Structure 1
């Protein structure tokens, strides 16, 4: 089958494509941290499911002409971001997108310590058991071999990212047929290299980050670096789809791995890197260095209904 030949060095017998499920807190998170990974595996025939926990209603709006959507104005940003997310998923090749509990069930909780944390539909104010049950239903239906979400700090401490970690971790502990569970992280070394390269590019419209300003982890804890360099055009298209939240810039040198940058509403430049990074939280580590699925299908069926 074509999937095995493309993804793995030795042909394998698959009765169904490999399945990857990612749990993210808000629209745009799927692209910011895992967009290249999604595009790579989708292009190779993997069935990719993205679960988004909220509509991102509390996000700050970058374009002046759309600021009336914000929570302190019309409070219509969540619905608008649904459209952005659909466009981004199409650019990345996502086969299956779900909202946790259904569209609009849980609301963006905002940053820690804000009044939005107490909104009756805020994700962090919601019933954890209900949220776990909603994700467990999806996971048991999709039957992914690999699941991805954030680490215990949610990457940078956002309450919804932390709750997504808690929900997903509990579901992974309940569902026996998940082979690997990963945390998406940012590499300290790769980020530093990317920022240095950005500092040498002319006309960068964003300010460079100060030391310690980007949320990164030490390289020694990273278990997996997925090469997404061939899929950066898809990631950049998806980043542009999230126009209320993300500004994208590219220099004229398309051959430069660090010729693209994005910034959130804070205007801090972040490099668009040719690799995305993960920490294996559970599962067999053999073969994970460059591939979330590495070594999983040697001598056995990829279908959850087959031999496990």
Structure 2
């Protein structure tokens, strides 16, 4: 095995584009600093909505060609971020995008009918065993994934959380599946988060700019939905300074899923990382090493 850089970061996400939305600046930053960044994507995102009219035929209820197309979008996005080690859990197409519905509370939920090959129906041990050898190969000090609710309830995000959490535990056990490589215990595990204070500030800027449709129904001074994390629970903020353009370009690469010509993205560009780019995390395993402001600014802090 070739020597790896001293710092190694592993991210486990559900669909192509999740990684850029949640962690694009973080990934670009650590690549630029010489760390080894590995992205694991659990599905091809076959059930996603197609936002490009001329590609609508790729939708799951038509030619069902969106998954292979999104492989190309993900590769282009990773080129923008500089990430060269990106893989699909178990190989491309092993686990099918489950899709989602919105429940009566407006949150994402499991569809009433899911395919047998959907990620939601995957056996937890089987899926974890697809990740354990990667953990033992890369030996990351830091793992990033979702919280137990998948940030907003999407079944594939929840399953990605479960698989990443279980695989991390199994990979650390010396007696577990010796055939999958020597044991490795990940020192720090983080969950992605949207910090409440920053979200409220962003909403104020949007509303002041006349944008009433982005995050429709959310009041900058009102109650926040469960996907927003109270500031007291945030442990780390990774600054997007110098990397916001790369993140925005990577988002553009996910063209079937993200439109970047609306007022939200225009305002995001105008206000830089303060508006959109800085990325928040909750530390759920390991010892925090906060700075003077009480927060970490580096996922590898203290290691």
**TM bracket, shorter-chain basis:** 0.7 to 0.9
Aligned to 1:292: 299
> Are 2:163 and 1:167 equivalent residues in the alignment?
yes
Structure 1 distance, partners of 2:199, 2:267, is 21
Question: How far does residue 286 in structure 1 lie from its aligned partner after superposition?
Answer: 2.2
In the superposition, relative to structure 1, how do residues 193 and 41 fare at CA in structure 2: closer, same or farther (>3 Å)?
same
How do residues 225-264 of structure 1 correspond to structure 2 at under 5 angstroms?
Answer: 225-249=237-261, 250-251=265-266, 256-257=271-272
Q: Which runs of 5+ in 1 are unaligned?
A: 1-13, 259-270, 297-308
Please tell me whether the aligned partners of residues 172 and 181 of structure 1 are also in contact (alpha carbons under 8 angstroms): no
Match of 1:178 in 2: 186
Q: TM-score, normalised by structure 1?
A: 0.82
Secondary structure of the equivalent of 1:153?
coil
Q: Aligned partners of 1:295, 1:34: CA distance in 2, in Å?
A: 21
Structural RMSD (CA): 2.2
* Alignment gaps of 5+ in structure 2: 101-108, 173-183, 219-223
CA deviation profile, 1:202-260 (whole Å, cap 9, x unmatched): 6x5954532246831111111111111220000000000001000113438955327xx
CA displacement 1:103-156 (0-9 Å, x = unmatched): 1100001113325x5212101111111100000011111111100000000000
SS across alignment from 1:133 = helix
TM-score normalized by the length of structure 2: 0.83
2:133 corresponds to which of 130, 133, 137: 137
User: In the alignment, what sits opposite 1:114?
Assistant: 111
- Residue 109 of structure 1 contacts residue 123 of structure 1 at CA under 8 Å; is this kept in 2? yes
Aligned to 1:217: 229
Does structure 2 conserve the Cα–Cα contact (< 8 Å) formed by 1:201 and 1:251? no
Q: 1:15 to 1:94 in 2, by over 3 A?
A: closer
2:65 corresponds, among 61, 76, 80, to 76
Aligned CA distance change for structure 1 residues 67 and 205 (closer, same or farther; 3 Å): farther
Matches within 5 A, 1:1-308: 16-111=5-100, 112-115=109-112, 118-174=114-170, 175=172, 176-201=184-209, 207-211=214-218, 212=224, 215-249=227-261, 250-251=265-266, 256-257=271-272, 273-287=276-290, 289-296=296-303
Q: Is the 8 A contact 2:4 2:36 kept in 1?
A: no
